[in-house]
Amino acid sequence: MTDSNRTSPNFSTKIQALEARSQDLSISPKKQGDASRSAEALERVHAAYQKTGLGKLDLVPLPASRPKLDIQGVTISLTLGCQVRGQFKGNPAVGALTVLFNKSEASASARDERARTAAALSLIYATEHLGGHGKAVAKLCLAYDVFRGTVTTCPSQIARRIANMEATCEEVALRWPAVKVPDDYDGPPIV
């Protein structure tokens, strides 16, 4: 999506490669499933690419190593796809595109709320980490819901949303040390 030399990314080659990988018996079933789900996601991106307006944006790759957000002592990792560059009042501006892959949420209002929150987190990230490329502005901070095929712009009035996130993170930070890890937990190390 971030290749400025083409009007539409070459999704078909990537989709075919992922579909072939999903049938490759030499790799684990988990990797086959990952490839199948990735192919499905790319098919959705391809189908909605022009409709969403992604093709009209100046999308720039992010560094491979990205800092995480720290909100009131809670580390937040975002699924950022790229930077979004543009202009604001005649000056360079920057934002970030968060990619949402959840396809199981049935409630449209819940999906919309999640997208608005993700776009707000994109604005926080752009403000804290991308300011060297221009002023971080809400209109360039987006959440792309792959399976719904929609792009949500960060609301311009987000003070209450950010205050709610900060209060929630503060509560998590206060209570986290007392949480007992379940015996059957198999996720990443908890520190």
The answer as to whether 45 is a domain residue is yes
The answer as to whether 2 is a domain residue is no
- For 54, half-sphere exposure in the C-beta direction (CA atoms, 13 angstrom radius) is 32
Task: Give the pLDDT band (50/70/90) at residue 179.
Answer: confident
State how far the Cα of 21 lies from the Cα of 18, in Å rounded to an integer. Answer: 5
Q: How much is the pLDDT for 73?
A: 92
Domain carrying residue 93: 57-176
Q: How much is the pLDDT for 22?
A: 92
Residue 61 sits in the same domain as residue 37:
no
The answer as to whether 189 is a domain residue is no
Residue 71 sits in the same domain as residue 37:
no
Radius of gyration of the chain (CA): 18
Q: How much is the pLDDT for 8?
A: 55
Q: Would you state the structure tokens that stand for residue 6, as one six-digit string?
A: 């083409």
Residue 43 sits in the same domain as residue 61:
no
Q: Among all chains, which residue has been given the structure tokens 């991308």?
A: 130
The answer as to whether 136 is a domain residue is yes
The answer as to whether 105 is a domain residue is yes
Residue 165 sits in the same domain as residue 87:
yes
The answer as to whether 184 is a domain residue is no
Q: Whole-model pTM? A: 0.79
Residue 51 sits in the same domain as residue 68:
no
Q: What is the pLDDT of residues 27-64, one digit of tens each?
A: 999 999 999 988 888 888 888 888 888 888 899 999 88
State how far the Cα of 111 lies from the Cα of 104, in Å rounded to an integer. Answer: 10
Check if the beta carbon of residue 68 is closer than 8 Å to that of residue 77: yes
Q: What is the pLDDT of residues 156-168, one digit of tens each?
A: 888 999 999 999 9
How many structural domains comprise the chain? 2
Q: Which residues contact 20 (CB under 8 A, 6 or more apart)?
A: none
Q: How much is the pLDDT for 187?
A: 84
pLDDT at 110 over 70: yes
Average pLDDT, the chain: 89
Residue 76 sits in the same domain as residue 110:
yes
The answer as to whether 5 is a domain residue is no
